[in-house]
Chains A and B, each alone.
Chain A
Amino acid sequence: MNLKTLTVIGLACTLLISCEMDLDMNEPGNLVPKTVTEDPSLPSLSLNGTSLHAQTYGNPANAMVIFLHGGPGADYRNGLNVRQLADDGYYVVFYDQRGTGLSQRHDKNTYSIQLYLDDLTAVIEHYRTSTNQKVFLFGHSWGAMLAAAYINAYPDRIDGAIFAEAGGFNKQLLDEYGEASRKLNLFSEITNDVLYYDQFLTGRENEHEILDYKLAIASSFSYAEGNDEGIEGASPFWRNGAGVLQAFMDISENEGFYFTTNLNQYQTKVLFLYGENNKSYGLSFAQKEASFFPSSEIVQIADTGHEMIYFKWDSVHPAVLGYLNSLN
Protein backbone atom coordinates (compact mmCIF):
# COMPACT_ATOMS: atom_id res chain seq x y z
CA MET A 1 0.00 0.00 0.00
CA ASN A 2 1.58 3.27 -1.05
CA LEU A 3 1.62 6.55 0.83
CA LYS A 4 -1.13 8.08 -1.31
CA THR A 5 -3.57 5.23 -0.52
CA LEU A 6 -2.76 5.39 3.17
CA THR A 7 -3.38 9.12 3.16
CA VAL A 8 -6.76 8.71 1.46
CA ILE A 9 -7.82 5.99 3.92
CA GLY A 10 -6.60 8.09 6.84
CA LEU A 11 -8.52 11.14 5.66
CA ALA A 12 -11.67 9.08 5.05
CA CYS A 13 -11.47 7.57 8.57
CA THR A 14 -10.90 10.99 10.09
CA LEU A 15 -13.89 12.39 8.22
CA LEU A 16 -16.09 9.46 9.25
CA ILE A 17 -15.06 9.67 12.90
CA SER A 18 -15.47 13.43 13.00
CA CYS A 19 -18.93 13.16 11.45
CA GLU A 20 -19.99 10.57 14.01
CA MET A 21 -18.67 12.67 16.87
CA ASP A 22 -20.47 15.83 15.80
CA LEU A 23 -23.43 16.71 17.98
CA ASP A 24 -26.22 19.08 17.04
CA MET A 25 -26.73 21.90 19.51
CA ASN A 26 -30.27 22.50 18.28
CA GLU A 27 -31.25 18.94 19.14
CA PRO A 28 -33.20 18.82 22.42
CA GLY A 29 -31.58 16.46 24.90
CA ASN A 30 -28.00 17.33 23.93
CA LEU A 31 -27.19 20.59 25.74
CA VAL A 32 -30.58 21.14 27.34
CA PRO A 33 -33.22 18.65 28.51
CA LYS A 34 -36.25 17.89 26.41
CA THR A 35 -39.48 19.71 27.16
CA VAL A 36 -42.91 18.11 27.66
CA THR A 37 -43.61 18.45 23.94
CA GLU A 38 -40.50 16.40 23.14
CA ASP A 39 -40.64 13.87 25.96
CA PRO A 40 -44.15 12.50 26.62
CA SER A 41 -42.95 10.68 29.74
CA LEU A 42 -42.68 13.99 31.63
CA PRO A 43 -45.60 14.93 33.88
CA SER A 44 -47.56 17.61 32.09
CA LEU A 45 -50.90 19.27 31.55
CA SER A 46 -52.29 20.99 28.48
CA LEU A 47 -54.29 24.17 28.89
CA ASN A 48 -54.73 27.65 27.49
CA GLY A 49 -52.97 26.70 24.25
CA THR A 50 -49.79 25.35 25.80
CA SER A 51 -48.31 22.32 27.56
CA LEU A 52 -46.88 22.86 31.01
CA HIS A 53 -44.53 20.67 32.99
CA ALA A 54 -46.40 20.14 36.26
CA GLN A 55 -46.51 17.97 39.37
CA THR A 56 -48.74 17.80 42.41
CA TYR A 57 -48.26 16.42 45.92
CA GLY A 58 -50.84 15.68 48.61
CA ASN A 59 -54.55 15.10 48.76
CA PRO A 60 -56.34 16.95 45.92
CA ALA A 61 -59.21 17.78 48.27
CA ASN A 62 -56.96 19.75 50.65
CA ALA A 63 -56.36 23.48 50.49
CA MET A 64 -54.22 24.18 47.44
CA VAL A 65 -50.79 25.82 47.56
CA ILE A 66 -49.49 26.81 44.14
CA PHE A 67 -45.77 27.40 44.00
CA LEU A 68 -44.71 30.11 41.55
CA HIS A 69 -41.04 29.85 40.63
CA GLY A 70 -38.65 32.69 39.91
CA GLY A 71 -37.16 34.10 36.76
CA PRO A 72 -38.87 35.02 34.59
CA GLY A 73 -37.34 32.06 32.86
CA ALA A 74 -36.37 29.81 35.78
CA ASP A 75 -38.23 26.67 36.90
CA TYR A 76 -39.62 25.01 40.01
CA ARG A 77 -36.84 22.47 40.59
CA ASN A 78 -35.14 24.48 43.32
CA GLY A 79 -38.49 25.00 45.04
CA LEU A 80 -39.31 21.33 45.44
CA ASN A 81 -38.72 21.53 49.21
CA VAL A 82 -42.15 23.14 49.32
CA ARG A 83 -43.70 19.71 48.66
CA GLN A 84 -43.23 19.04 52.39
CA LEU A 85 -46.43 21.07 52.83
CA ALA A 86 -48.24 18.04 51.40
CA ASP A 87 -47.36 16.18 54.61
CA ASP A 88 -48.85 19.11 56.53
CA GLY A 89 -52.23 18.70 54.89
CA TYR A 90 -51.97 20.84 51.77
CA TYR A 91 -52.35 20.02 48.10
CA VAL A 92 -49.13 21.38 46.59
CA VAL A 93 -49.05 22.27 42.90
CA PHE A 94 -45.89 22.96 40.94
CA TYR A 95 -45.70 24.03 37.32
CA ASP A 96 -43.03 25.42 35.07
CA GLN A 97 -44.41 28.61 33.63
CA ARG A 98 -45.06 28.85 29.91
CA GLY A 99 -41.84 28.97 27.88
CA THR A 100 -39.49 27.93 30.66
CA GLY A 101 -38.31 24.91 32.63
CA LEU A 102 -39.58 21.81 30.85
CA SER A 103 -42.74 23.50 29.60
CA GLN A 104 -43.49 24.17 25.95
CA ARG A 105 -41.58 26.93 24.14
CA HIS A 106 -43.35 29.60 22.09
CA ASP A 107 -42.31 32.52 19.93
CA LYS A 108 -40.89 35.37 21.96
CA ASN A 109 -43.48 37.87 20.78
CA THR A 110 -46.41 35.79 22.10
CA TYR A 111 -45.64 36.20 25.81
CA SER A 112 -47.46 38.73 27.96
CA ILE A 113 -48.25 39.29 31.63
CA GLN A 114 -51.95 38.70 30.96
CA LEU A 115 -51.15 35.36 29.30
CA TYR A 116 -49.22 34.31 32.40
CA LEU A 117 -52.20 35.32 34.57
CA ASP A 118 -54.53 33.36 32.30
CA ASP A 119 -52.25 30.32 32.59
CA LEU A 120 -52.41 30.57 36.36
CA THR A 121 -56.21 30.82 36.25
CA ALA A 122 -56.28 27.71 34.05
CA VAL A 123 -53.93 25.84 36.41
CA ILE A 124 -56.17 26.67 39.39
CA GLU A 125 -59.26 25.55 37.48
CA HIS A 126 -57.54 22.37 36.34
CA TYR A 127 -56.53 21.24 39.82
CA ARG A 128 -59.39 22.64 41.89
CA THR A 129 -61.65 19.87 43.14
CA SER A 130 -64.37 21.99 44.75
CA THR A 131 -65.56 25.58 44.67
CA ASN A 132 -64.88 26.12 48.36
CA GLN A 133 -61.32 24.73 48.17
CA LYS A 134 -58.93 27.38 49.38
CA VAL A 135 -56.15 28.54 47.06
CA PHE A 136 -52.87 29.98 48.33
CA LEU A 137 -50.04 31.35 46.22
CA PHE A 138 -46.42 30.89 47.26
CA GLY A 139 -44.14 32.93 45.03
CA HIS A 140 -40.39 33.17 44.99
CA SER A 141 -38.61 36.15 43.38
CA TRP A 142 -40.33 36.69 39.99
CA GLY A 143 -42.93 34.15 41.13
CA ALA A 144 -43.75 36.48 44.03
CA MET A 145 -44.14 39.34 41.55
CA LEU A 146 -46.49 37.14 39.53
CA ALA A 147 -48.47 36.33 42.68
CA ALA A 148 -48.86 40.07 43.32
CA ALA A 149 -49.91 40.63 39.70
CA TYR A 150 -52.56 37.92 40.07
CA ILE A 151 -53.96 39.29 43.33
CA ASN A 152 -53.87 42.78 41.84
CA ALA A 153 -55.96 41.56 38.90
CA TYR A 154 -58.23 39.17 40.81
CA PRO A 155 -58.24 40.14 44.51
CA ASP A 156 -61.16 37.85 45.39
CA ARG A 157 -59.78 34.60 43.97
CA ILE A 158 -56.88 33.94 46.32
CA ASP A 159 -57.10 33.04 50.01
CA GLY A 160 -53.60 34.03 51.02
CA ALA A 161 -50.12 34.66 49.62
CA ILE A 162 -46.49 34.22 50.57
CA PHE A 163 -43.95 36.48 48.93
CA ALA A 164 -40.35 35.31 49.15
CA GLU A 165 -38.24 38.27 48.02
CA ALA A 166 -40.30 39.58 45.14
CA GLY A 167 -37.99 41.48 42.81
CA GLY A 168 -40.32 44.51 42.71
CA PHE A 169 -44.08 44.95 42.40
CA ASN A 170 -43.62 47.76 39.88
CA LYS A 171 -40.99 48.93 37.42
CA GLN A 172 -39.46 51.41 39.83
CA LEU A 173 -38.95 48.80 42.54
CA LEU A 174 -37.64 46.26 40.02
CA ASP A 175 -35.03 48.76 38.80
CA GLU A 176 -34.09 49.53 42.38
CA TYR A 177 -33.59 45.85 43.15
CA GLY A 178 -31.80 45.21 39.86
CA GLU A 179 -29.33 48.04 40.40
CA ALA A 180 -28.55 46.79 43.88
CA SER A 181 -28.16 43.12 42.99
CA ARG A 182 -26.56 43.02 39.52
CA LYS A 183 -23.45 45.13 39.81
CA LEU A 184 -20.79 44.39 37.19
CA ASN A 185 -17.10 44.77 37.81
CA LEU A 186 -15.68 45.04 34.31
CA PHE A 187 -12.29 43.63 35.28
CA SER A 188 -13.49 40.60 37.23
CA GLU A 189 -13.51 36.96 36.24
CA ILE A 190 -17.22 36.77 37.02
CA THR A 191 -17.94 39.33 34.32
CA ASN A 192 -16.05 37.56 31.56
CA ASP A 193 -17.60 34.29 32.77
CA VAL A 194 -20.94 35.56 31.44
CA LEU A 195 -19.88 37.82 28.56
CA TYR A 196 -16.88 36.32 26.80
CA TYR A 197 -18.67 33.41 25.12
CA ASP A 198 -21.01 35.81 23.32
CA GLN A 199 -18.37 35.94 20.58
CA PHE A 200 -18.91 32.37 19.45
CA LEU A 201 -22.12 31.19 21.06
CA THR A 202 -25.06 33.06 19.60
CA GLY A 203 -28.60 32.07 18.85
CA ARG A 204 -31.36 33.42 16.67
CA GLU A 205 -34.47 34.81 18.33
CA ASN A 206 -36.38 31.53 18.61
CA GLU A 207 -33.51 29.04 18.70
CA HIS A 208 -34.60 27.97 22.16
CA GLU A 209 -32.03 25.23 22.75
CA ILE A 210 -28.96 27.40 22.31
CA LEU A 211 -30.48 30.49 23.94
CA ASP A 212 -31.68 28.52 26.97
CA TYR A 213 -28.28 26.87 27.20
CA LYS A 214 -26.48 30.22 27.14
CA LEU A 215 -28.62 31.40 30.01
CA ALA A 216 -27.90 28.21 31.94
CA ILE A 217 -24.14 28.63 31.77
CA ALA A 218 -24.48 32.25 32.86
CA SER A 219 -26.16 31.14 36.07
CA SER A 220 -22.84 30.85 37.91
CA PHE A 221 -22.88 34.66 38.02
CA SER A 222 -25.71 34.63 40.55
CA TYR A 223 -23.84 32.65 43.19
CA ALA A 224 -20.31 33.96 42.61
CA GLU A 225 -18.34 34.55 45.78
CA GLY A 226 -19.36 37.76 47.51
CA ASN A 227 -22.62 38.13 45.55
CA ASP A 228 -24.94 40.78 46.97
CA GLU A 229 -27.94 38.47 47.11
CA GLY A 230 -26.25 36.20 49.67
CA ILE A 231 -26.66 33.10 47.52
CA GLU A 232 -24.67 30.25 49.02
CA GLY A 233 -23.96 28.27 45.86
CA ALA A 234 -25.45 26.49 42.91
CA SER A 235 -29.05 25.38 43.28
CA PRO A 236 -30.65 22.97 40.83
CA PHE A 237 -32.79 23.84 37.85
CA TRP A 238 -33.80 21.98 34.72
CA ARG A 239 -33.77 24.53 31.97
CA ASN A 240 -34.03 28.27 31.61
CA GLY A 241 -36.39 30.01 29.24
CA ALA A 242 -34.34 32.68 27.50
CA GLY A 243 -37.16 33.73 25.18
CA VAL A 244 -39.61 34.43 27.95
CA LEU A 245 -36.98 36.26 30.00
CA GLN A 246 -36.16 38.52 27.06
CA ALA A 247 -39.85 39.04 26.30
CA PHE A 248 -40.61 40.17 29.85
CA MET A 249 -37.51 42.37 29.96
CA ASP A 250 -38.72 44.06 26.78
CA ILE A 251 -42.22 44.47 28.24
CA SER A 252 -40.76 45.94 31.40
CA GLU A 253 -38.58 48.38 29.48
CA ASN A 254 -41.12 49.40 26.86
CA GLU A 255 -44.39 49.34 28.75
CA GLY A 256 -43.46 49.23 32.43
CA PHE A 257 -45.70 47.40 34.87
CA TYR A 258 -47.69 48.16 37.99
CA PHE A 259 -48.86 45.16 40.00
CA THR A 260 -49.86 47.43 42.86
CA THR A 261 -52.93 49.40 41.85
CA ASN A 262 -55.50 47.16 43.61
CA LEU A 263 -53.42 45.52 46.31
CA ASN A 264 -54.90 47.82 48.93
CA GLN A 265 -58.25 46.06 48.38
CA TYR A 266 -56.83 42.72 49.44
CA GLN A 267 -57.83 42.44 53.08
CA THR A 268 -56.30 39.02 53.82
CA LYS A 269 -53.00 39.10 55.67
CA VAL A 270 -50.01 38.27 53.44
CA LEU A 271 -46.59 36.95 54.43
CA PHE A 272 -43.27 38.39 53.30
CA LEU A 273 -40.01 36.45 53.67
CA TYR A 274 -36.52 37.78 53.17
CA GLY A 275 -33.06 36.32 53.61
CA GLU A 276 -30.80 37.92 56.18
CA ASN A 277 -27.79 37.82 53.84
CA ASN A 278 -29.39 39.41 50.79
CA LYS A 279 -27.90 42.90 50.87
CA SER A 280 -30.07 44.00 47.93
CA TYR A 281 -33.38 43.22 49.66
CA GLY A 282 -33.45 43.40 53.43
CA LEU A 283 -36.11 44.58 55.81
CA SER A 284 -36.47 48.00 54.17
CA PHE A 285 -37.29 46.54 50.74
CA ALA A 286 -39.69 44.02 52.31
CA GLN A 287 -41.42 46.91 54.12
CA LYS A 288 -41.78 48.85 50.86
CA GLU A 289 -43.47 45.89 49.19
CA ALA A 290 -45.57 45.00 52.23
CA SER A 291 -46.86 48.57 52.44
CA PHE A 292 -49.03 48.00 49.37
CA PHE A 293 -51.16 45.58 51.40
CA PRO A 294 -53.48 46.53 54.28
CA SER A 295 -52.31 43.59 56.39
CA SER A 296 -48.95 41.87 56.26
CA GLU A 297 -46.31 40.08 58.28
CA ILE A 298 -42.58 40.17 57.54
CA VAL A 299 -40.27 37.35 58.58
CA GLN A 300 -36.51 37.33 58.27
CA ILE A 301 -34.93 33.97 57.42
CA ALA A 302 -31.59 33.88 59.20
CA ASP A 303 -28.23 33.00 57.67
CA THR A 304 -29.30 32.76 54.04
CA GLY A 305 -30.00 34.87 50.98
CA HIS A 306 -32.24 34.95 47.96
CA GLU A 307 -32.38 31.17 47.51
CA MET A 308 -33.77 30.61 50.99
CA ILE A 309 -36.30 27.98 49.89
CA TYR A 310 -33.56 25.69 48.65
CA PHE A 311 -30.81 26.40 51.18
CA LYS A 312 -32.79 27.12 54.37
CA TRP A 313 -36.09 25.34 53.95
CA ASP A 314 -35.95 24.18 57.56
CA SER A 315 -36.21 27.84 58.59
CA VAL A 316 -38.70 28.81 55.89
CA HIS A 317 -41.06 25.91 56.53
CA PRO A 318 -42.27 26.84 60.05
CA ALA A 319 -42.98 30.43 59.00
CA VAL A 320 -44.91 29.34 55.92
CA LEU A 321 -46.81 26.58 57.70
CA GLY A 322 -47.77 28.86 60.59
CA TYR A 323 -49.10 31.45 58.14
CA LEU A 324 -51.05 28.92 56.07
CA ASN A 325 -52.54 27.25 59.13
CA SER A 326 -53.68 30.62 60.43
CA LEU A 327 -55.80 31.07 57.30
CA ASN A 328 -56.90 27.53 56.64
Chain B
Amino acid sequence: MKKIKPLLFIAMFFCFCQQGMPQTVNWNALEDSKHIITAGIGWDFSVSFSLGYAYQLKTNTPILLTSNFSIPSGEKLLDDFKTKIGGQVVFWNRSHLKGSITLNGIYRRFENPLVQLKNFGSELKGVLGFYKPKWFVAAEVGFDKAIVSDFTHSDTFKGTIFTTVKDGWYKPSSGGNFMYGLQTGYSSKQSDLTLNIGMVMTQDFKTTPLVPYYLMFGYNLRLH
Protein backbone atom coordinates (compact mmCIF):
# COMPACT_ATOMS: atom_id res chain seq x y z
CA MET B 1 0.00 0.00 0.00
CA LYS B 2 2.87 2.29 0.81
CA LYS B 3 3.99 2.14 -2.83
CA ILE B 4 0.52 2.27 -4.38
CA LYS B 5 -0.28 5.74 -3.05
CA PRO B 6 2.61 7.45 -4.80
CA LEU B 7 1.80 5.55 -7.99
CA LEU B 8 -1.80 6.77 -7.86
CA PHE B 9 -0.52 10.27 -7.28
CA ILE B 10 1.72 10.06 -10.32
CA ALA B 11 -1.08 8.68 -12.46
CA MET B 12 -3.43 11.47 -11.39
CA PHE B 13 -0.73 14.11 -11.82
CA PHE B 14 -0.19 13.08 -15.39
CA CYS B 15 -3.87 12.85 -16.16
CA PHE B 16 -4.53 16.33 -14.85
CA CYS B 17 -1.42 17.89 -16.30
CA GLN B 18 -2.06 16.23 -19.64
CA GLN B 19 1.43 14.88 -19.97
CA GLY B 20 2.62 11.55 -21.26
CA MET B 21 3.32 10.25 -24.71
CA PRO B 22 2.55 7.31 -26.93
CA GLN B 23 5.86 6.80 -28.70
CA THR B 24 4.19 4.10 -30.73
CA VAL B 25 0.96 4.83 -32.57
CA ASN B 26 -1.08 3.37 -35.38
CA TRP B 27 -1.46 6.38 -37.67
CA ASN B 28 -4.28 4.66 -39.56
CA ALA B 29 -6.32 4.10 -36.39
CA LEU B 30 -5.96 7.61 -34.97
CA GLU B 31 -8.68 9.19 -37.12
CA ASP B 32 -10.01 12.23 -35.26
CA SER B 33 -8.92 11.13 -31.77
CA LYS B 34 -7.80 14.14 -29.78
CA HIS B 35 -6.44 12.62 -26.64
CA ILE B 36 -4.31 9.51 -26.31
CA ILE B 37 -3.40 8.08 -22.93
CA THR B 38 -0.70 5.46 -22.81
CA ALA B 39 0.85 3.02 -20.39
CA GLY B 40 3.82 0.77 -20.90
CA ILE B 41 6.11 -1.75 -19.30
CA GLY B 42 9.36 -3.13 -20.59
CA TRP B 43 13.13 -2.94 -20.61
CA ASP B 44 14.56 0.53 -21.06
CA PHE B 45 18.00 0.35 -19.39
CA SER B 46 16.13 -1.33 -16.53
CA VAL B 47 12.67 -2.77 -16.01
CA SER B 48 10.60 0.37 -16.58
CA PHE B 49 7.02 1.50 -16.25
CA SER B 50 5.71 4.45 -18.23
CA LEU B 51 2.67 6.68 -18.48
CA GLY B 52 2.00 9.13 -21.25
CA TYR B 53 -0.37 11.52 -22.90
CA ALA B 54 -0.61 12.82 -26.46
CA TYR B 55 -2.73 15.48 -28.12
CA GLN B 56 -3.46 15.34 -31.84
CA LEU B 57 -3.48 18.72 -33.55
CA LYS B 58 -6.12 19.52 -36.15
CA THR B 59 -3.81 19.67 -39.15
CA ASN B 60 -3.71 18.16 -42.62
CA THR B 61 -0.47 16.37 -41.78
CA PRO B 62 -0.89 14.23 -38.66
CA ILE B 63 0.95 15.84 -35.74
CA LEU B 64 1.00 14.70 -32.11
CA LEU B 65 2.20 16.73 -29.16
CA THR B 66 3.45 14.20 -26.70
CA SER B 67 4.86 13.70 -23.23
CA ASN B 68 5.88 10.69 -21.22
CA PHE B 69 7.06 9.80 -17.76
CA SER B 70 8.81 6.57 -16.85
CA ILE B 71 10.41 5.06 -13.77
CA PRO B 72 12.53 1.95 -13.38
CA SER B 73 11.51 -0.71 -10.90
CA GLY B 74 13.19 -0.80 -7.51
CA GLU B 75 12.53 -0.17 -3.87
CA LYS B 76 12.99 3.61 -4.13
CA LEU B 77 10.22 5.11 -6.20
CA LEU B 78 11.38 8.45 -7.53
CA ASP B 79 15.15 8.41 -7.21
CA ASP B 80 15.37 7.52 -10.89
CA PHE B 81 13.01 8.68 -13.62
CA LYS B 82 12.80 9.97 -17.18
CA THR B 83 10.48 12.56 -18.70
CA LYS B 84 10.07 13.32 -22.38
CA ILE B 85 8.20 16.19 -24.00
CA GLY B 86 8.03 16.58 -27.73
CA GLY B 87 6.12 15.74 -30.84
CA GLN B 88 5.63 13.36 -33.71
CA VAL B 89 4.89 14.35 -37.26
CA VAL B 90 4.11 12.24 -40.33
CA PHE B 91 6.39 13.43 -43.12
CA TRP B 92 5.52 10.77 -45.70
CA ASN B 93 1.84 10.01 -45.91
CA ARG B 94 0.44 7.35 -48.21
CA SER B 95 -2.68 5.40 -47.47
CA HIS B 96 -0.84 2.48 -45.84
CA LEU B 97 2.82 3.52 -45.95
CA LYS B 98 3.87 6.23 -43.58
CA GLY B 99 7.07 7.74 -42.34
CA SER B 100 7.23 9.81 -39.19
CA ILE B 101 9.75 11.78 -37.19
CA THR B 102 9.77 12.06 -33.40
CA LEU B 103 11.65 14.78 -31.56
CA ASN B 104 11.75 14.84 -27.77
CA GLY B 105 13.40 16.89 -25.10
CA ILE B 106 14.43 14.65 -22.20
CA TYR B 107 15.02 15.26 -18.53
CA ARG B 108 16.15 12.35 -16.37
CA ARG B 109 17.37 11.75 -12.89
CA PHE B 110 19.47 8.95 -11.45
CA GLU B 111 20.57 8.27 -7.92
CA ASN B 112 22.51 5.51 -6.23
CA PRO B 113 24.47 5.45 -2.93
CA LEU B 114 27.40 7.25 -4.60
CA VAL B 115 25.97 9.95 -6.84
CA GLN B 116 22.90 11.86 -7.94
CA LEU B 117 22.80 12.72 -11.65
CA LYS B 118 20.47 15.00 -13.57
CA ASN B 119 20.56 15.09 -17.31
CA PHE B 120 19.02 17.11 -20.12
CA GLY B 121 19.04 15.36 -23.45
CA SER B 122 17.23 15.04 -26.73
CA GLU B 123 15.89 12.20 -28.80
CA LEU B 124 15.37 12.01 -32.52
CA LYS B 125 13.59 9.02 -33.97
CA GLY B 126 12.47 8.03 -37.46
CA VAL B 127 9.80 5.44 -38.13
CA LEU B 128 8.84 3.92 -41.48
CA GLY B 129 6.07 1.39 -41.68
CA PHE B 130 2.99 -0.24 -43.06
CA TYR B 131 -0.24 0.78 -41.34
CA LYS B 132 -3.71 -0.77 -41.56
CA PRO B 133 -6.65 0.25 -39.36
CA LYS B 134 -6.32 -2.95 -37.31
CA TRP B 135 -2.56 -3.44 -37.21
CA PHE B 136 0.78 -2.00 -38.17
CA VAL B 137 4.43 -2.90 -38.40
CA ALA B 138 7.29 -0.45 -38.76
CA ALA B 139 11.04 -0.08 -38.51
CA GLU B 140 12.45 2.51 -36.13
CA VAL B 141 15.84 4.15 -35.77
CA GLY B 142 16.66 6.67 -33.07
CA PHE B 143 19.41 8.59 -31.37
CA ASP B 144 19.28 9.67 -27.74
CA LYS B 145 21.86 12.36 -27.01
CA ALA B 146 22.81 13.39 -23.49
CA ILE B 147 23.49 17.13 -23.70
CA VAL B 148 24.40 18.32 -20.23
CA SER B 149 24.53 16.54 -16.88
CA ASP B 150 24.72 17.64 -13.26
CA PHE B 151 26.75 15.52 -10.83
CA THR B 152 26.27 15.65 -7.06
CA HIS B 153 28.33 13.09 -5.17
CA SER B 154 27.46 11.53 -1.84
CA ASP B 155 29.63 11.62 1.29
CA THR B 156 30.35 7.93 0.70
CA PHE B 157 31.82 8.73 -2.71
CA LYS B 158 33.88 11.59 -1.34
CA GLY B 159 34.97 9.60 1.69
CA THR B 160 35.96 6.36 0.00
CA ILE B 161 36.75 7.19 -3.61
CA PHE B 162 37.63 10.76 -4.53
CA THR B 163 37.61 13.50 -1.90
CA THR B 164 38.03 16.40 -4.30
CA VAL B 165 35.60 15.26 -6.99
CA LYS B 166 34.01 18.31 -8.61
CA ASP B 167 30.24 18.55 -8.37
CA GLY B 168 28.36 20.59 -10.95
CA TRP B 169 27.19 20.76 -14.55
CA TYR B 170 29.32 18.86 -17.00
CA LYS B 171 29.82 19.42 -20.70
CA PRO B 172 30.50 18.34 -23.36
CA SER B 173 27.90 15.68 -23.74
CA SER B 174 28.18 12.72 -21.41
CA GLY B 175 27.21 10.38 -24.21
CA GLY B 176 24.62 9.12 -26.60
CA ASN B 177 22.99 5.91 -27.74
CA PHE B 178 21.66 4.73 -31.06
CA MET B 179 18.68 2.41 -31.08
CA TYR B 180 17.18 0.45 -33.93
CA GLY B 181 14.40 -2.07 -34.05
CA LEU B 182 10.82 -2.83 -34.89
CA GLN B 183 7.47 -1.63 -33.65
CA THR B 184 4.18 -3.37 -34.20
CA GLY B 185 0.70 -3.29 -32.81
CA TYR B 186 -2.92 -4.35 -32.90
CA SER B 187 -5.71 -1.78 -32.84
CA SER B 188 -9.35 -2.07 -31.86
CA LYS B 189 -12.06 0.58 -31.56
CA GLN B 190 -10.42 2.83 -29.00
CA SER B 191 -7.28 0.96 -28.09
CA ASP B 192 -3.87 -0.08 -29.39
CA LEU B 193 -1.67 -2.83 -28.03
CA THR B 194 1.89 -2.09 -29.09
CA LEU B 195 5.32 -3.72 -28.97
CA ASN B 196 8.72 -2.13 -29.53
CA ILE B 197 11.79 -4.33 -29.67
CA GLY B 198 15.34 -3.61 -30.72
CA MET B 199 18.97 -3.05 -29.91
CA VAL B 200 20.99 -0.22 -28.43
CA MET B 201 24.58 0.73 -29.13
CA THR B 202 26.62 3.66 -27.95
CA GLN B 203 27.50 6.52 -30.23
CA ASP B 204 30.95 5.19 -31.12
CA PHE B 205 29.36 2.10 -32.76
CA LYS B 206 31.94 -0.03 -30.92
CA THR B 207 30.52 -0.44 -27.46
CA THR B 208 27.11 -1.23 -26.04
CA PRO B 209 25.34 -0.67 -22.75
CA LEU B 210 25.56 -3.56 -20.29
CA VAL B 211 22.18 -4.76 -21.57
CA PRO B 212 22.05 -3.70 -25.23
CA TYR B 213 18.35 -4.32 -25.86
CA TYR B 214 15.05 -2.59 -25.40
CA LEU B 215 11.60 -4.08 -25.22
CA MET B 216 8.39 -2.21 -24.50
CA PHE B 217 4.80 -3.40 -24.31
CA GLY B 218 2.35 -0.53 -24.54
CA TYR B 219 -1.33 0.24 -24.34
CA ASN B 220 -2.93 3.33 -25.94
CA LEU B 221 -6.41 4.57 -25.12
CA ARG B 222 -7.74 6.94 -27.79
CA LEU B 223 -10.39 9.49 -26.85
CA HIS B 224 -12.29 12.06 -28.91
Contact = CB atoms under 8 A, between A and B. Distances in A.
B165 A31 contact: yes
B98 interface: no
B73 A187 contact: yes
Interface of A: 18, 21-26, 29-33, 186-205, 210, 216-217, 219-220, 234-239
Contacts of B161: 216, 219, 236-239
Contact of B175 (A191, A193, A202): A202
A321 B86 CA distance: 65
Majority SS at the chain A contact face: loop
Contact of B72 (A33, A192, A237): A192
Contact of B174 (A25, A234, A235): A25
Contacts of B108: 199-200
Contacts of A196: 45-46, 72, 80, 110
Nearest to B81: A196
Contact of A192 (B74, B149, B169): B74
Interface centre among A197, A220, A234 (most CB of B within 10 A): A197
B177 A202 contact: yes
Contact of A199 (B79, B144, B168, B169): B144
A220 B112 contact: yes
Interface of B: 44-47, 72-76, 79-80, 82, 108, 110, 112-115, 117, 119, 121, 144, 146, 148-149, 151, 156-157, 159-162, 164-166, 168-172, 174-177, 202-204, 206-207, 209-211
17 contacts: A18-B169, A22-B171, A31-B151, A186-B46, A191-B46, A192-B45, A197-B45, A199-B45, A199-B146, A199-B177, A202-B146, A202-B177, A204-B203, A210-B174, A216-B114, A216-B161, A234-B159
B162 A189 contact: no
Given A25-B149, A216-B161, A220-B112, 7 more contacts: A18-B169, A22-B148, A186-B46, A201-B146, A202-B207, A204-B207, A239-B162
A202 B172 CA distance: 12
The 4 A-B residue pairs with the shortest CB-CB distance in the complex, in nearest-first order? A202-B175, A189-B74, A200-B146, A198-B209
A30 B159 CA distance: 16
A196 to B, nearest CB: 5
A220 B113 contact: yes
B207 A198 contact: no
Contacts of A234: 113, 156, 159-160
Nearest to B146: A200
Given A194-B112, A238-B161, A22 B170 contact: yes
Contact of B45 (A26, A189, A198, A238): A198
A195 B47 CA distance: 10
Contacts of A198: 45, 177, 209-211
A189 B5 CA distance: 19
Nearest to B203: A202
B170 A23 contact: yes
B114 A33 contact: no
Contacts of B44: 199
B186 to A, nearest CB: 26
Given A193-B112, A202-B203, A23 B74 contact: no
